[in-house]
Structure 1
Amino acid sequence: MKSFNMIMALILALAVAGCTANSNSAGTENRGTEGGNTAKSVQAAEGEATGGDGGQGPRTIEHALGTVTLEKKPERVVVLFNGMVDITAALEVKPVGAVESWEQKPWYEFLRDKMEGVKDLGEENQPNLEAIVALKPDLIIGTKTRHEKIYPQLKDIAPTLITEEIFDWKDNLEIGAKALYMDEEAAKLIADWDDRVADFKTKAGDSLKDTEVSIVRFEKDGSARFYVTGFAGTIFQELGIGRPEAQRVEGKAVVNLTSKEQMAQLDGDYIFDITRISPDDPSTENTRNDWTSHPLWSTLNGVKNGKHIEVDVITWNLSGGVLAANSMLDDVYAYFDIK
């Protein structure tokens, strides 16, 4: 009997040990599965936050004045500079409100059919904040040079993204598209642009390797200016077309000239003129006439060669987005006879 009891006790102990081992094993498997699911969830969340997976979930975007977090794709977008109006039109996004165009108000003619029903928020230098509040936006897009001072007010109204450079249309397209959850559409627009730039360079070959272009504008205050960079300047740089030595000024986007003794700084093999002429205000046209009638003007190489060209100021300077860039490139093909 004593032996029987000892055997039963041994069997019971082995059974308990076996259950404990199975329990521990199951616990390890469960924790492993749970850990795997957690890791997967974190990765998914990170992908959505950065927009890396193209998902429609939350994403956090770094911009010129901080970060903005969006919970989902915005539906009521307010746009506060002309370049982004052009970009949203290219992405086929209709904002609920946008600042008006600099010319052809309220909207540039080439954008007008895409802006029907959009609330005019005034000029980009001073957008109408009360009107923005009334629109109840879920995203505001501005730019640093125009809206840094009012950024605190804007971000109190809605999540706000601020771009770094007003004329850097490619960066503005990329960051704007990220906030609009249209990364793939933006990538396609940039790829198409890159193909056109490559085509231009291939067809131009070495024909423009020694050509230098000047980009000038005359102002209503009697001064002139040349552009070091700016919208058109960055496009010429991408095309590999050079600039006169006098216009290669480090750290400047534009240089103002107040004396006609500085006339030589406007020169180039081609002088592209982006002056804004208003039928309601003759002062700017008077300035251009004053400079171009001066004896020193006729000494410029671009003038002597008949290459002072008044271009479309809207697509070469004011609109500042992907649609304008492509329109300007059409002109550049024509002006340099690249076929």
Structure 2
Amino acid sequence: MKRNFLAVLGLCSLVTAAPVFAAEITHEVGTTDVPDQVERIVVLEFSFIDALASVGVAPVGIADDNKRDRVIPAYTDVIGDEWVSVGTRKTPSLEVIASLAPDLIIADKKRHSAAYDTLSEIAPTIVLDSLGGDYHASVAQMAVIGEAIGKSDEMNARIAQHKATMADYVAQIKPKAEGISAQFGVTNAKGLWLHAPVSYNGSLLAMFGFDSTMKPAEGGVYEKVYVPTTLEQLSEVNPDILIFGEYADPSHVDSWQGDALYQDLNAVKSDKVYNVIAHNWSRLRGMVAAELTAADLLEIISK
């Protein structure tokens, strides 16, 4: 017999009177009735912090990977620093989440779909595709979150402001990017992962007018959003511009510096290899992240 998660934890006392539901929110794995007044929100991805900060809402719990400094000042300047860490984004603590008595949980499709039923026992839960979605999906998710927390007007205003900012960057970058291929990847001490054209950063590069030299699998499908890549595979992609986000120093890519195959890459030969802040480019995936990425790209393409 299936046992109620809250009963197993002995947290049934946290459950109060049934809330008044204000809206039915459609999300990646179904529909969820959300309360009329959402006040205690737990977010399990950084892009969801972006959404809340955009409308001045502070979550009570964040999956911050047990590293509070990963929540950047652009967010903490708005939401403060009083949130409770609920653990890592990959495996957040259900016990800690339940102890916070949330009235809304915002979870990621790839990381948390398997736990959706359990999370829904704790609080109304919506699931959005942060990790696997592209930039355009990320912006659309902001509107869903705005509706879920009863702040659609404020969120739509922020989205409009963001789109105007990005349009200005596109006007500056796209003419300079014409006919140039660019590729972003993250590297740690053990490997390199290129972000495919269907990824958040891949779709941003395309929006700014850069070509992609990454090829899809047979049938025109990219098998992975984040592709583990050897030096030999990188030499086949061989873009005009390489942009790396390094999670380690020295990184795996640094070990290739003396290799002839690396030195023969177009970007290396033309001194078009750039390092950016991996956390901002790869983990955040919100509107602030897109604006930071755009500023970096404008600097890169202007050199």
Q: Please confirm whether the aligned pair reaches a TM-score higher than 0.5, indicating the same fold.
A: yes
Q: Tell me which moved more, 117-126 or 190-199.
A: 190-199
Given the two structures, how large is their TM-score scaled by the length of structure 1?
A: 0.74
Residue pair 1:102, 1:318 contacting (<8 A) in 2 also: no
Cα distance change on mapping 1:301 and 1:124 into 2, 3 Å: same
Residue pair 2:44, 2:108 contacting (<8 A) in 1 also: yes
- Asked if 1:79 is matched to 2:43, the reply is yes
| CA deviation after TM superposition for structure 1 residue 334, in Å | 1.6
What is the rounded CA distance, in whole Å, between the counterparts of 1:292 and 1:329 in structure 2?
28
Instruction: Give the aligned partner of residue 328 of structure 1.
Output: 293
Which one of the candidate residues 127, 146, 158 is aligned to 1:177?
A: 146
| CA deviation after TM superposition for structure 1 residue 194, in Å | 2.0
* Post-superposition CA distance 1:179-208 (Å, at most 9, x none): 111212222222222222322333346332
What is the rounded CA distance, in whole Å, between the counterparts of 2:82 and 2:130 in structure 1?
28
Which one of the candidate residues 281, 304, 314 is aligned to 2:279?
A: 314
What is the rounded CA distance, in whole Å, between the counterparts of 1:132 and 1:330 in structure 2?
36
| CA deviation after TM superposition for structure 1 residue 272, in Å | 0.6
Q: Tell me which moved more, 212-221 or 138-147.
A: 212-221
Instruction: Give the aligned partner of residue 38 of structure 1.
Output: none
The one-letter amino acid of 1:88's match is: L
Normalized per residue, the structure richer in helix is 1
What is the rounded CA distance, in whole Å, between the counterparts of 2:236 and 2:186 in structure 1?
12
Instruction: Give the aligned partner of residue 129 of structure 1.
Output: 94
- Asked if 1:267 is matched to 2:204, the reply is no
Which one of the candidate residues 89, 105, 110 is aligned to 2:53?
A: 89
Given the two structures, how large is their TM-score scaled by the length of structure 2?
A: 0.82
- Asked if 1:206 is matched to 2:170, the reply is no
Which one of the candidate residues 30, 33, 43 is aligned to 1:69?
A: 33
**Counterpart of 1:206 in 2: which secondary structure?**
helix
Instruction: Give the aligned partner of residue 289 of structure 1.
Output: 254
Identity %: 23
Residue pair 1:144, 1:163 contacting (<8 A) in 2 also: yes
Which ranges in structure 2 are unaligned for 5 or more consecutive residues?
Answer: 1-19
Cα distance change on mapping 1:322 and 1:286 into 2, 3 Å: closer
Q: Tell me which moved more, 102-111 or 177-186.
A: 102-111
Instruction: Give the aligned partner of residue 192 of structure 1.
Output: 161
State which structure, 1 or 2, has the greater radius of gyration over its C-alpha atoms.
1
Residue pair 1:101, 1:107 contacting (<8 A) in 2 also: no
Residue pair 1:100, 1:123 contacting (<8 A) in 2 also: yes
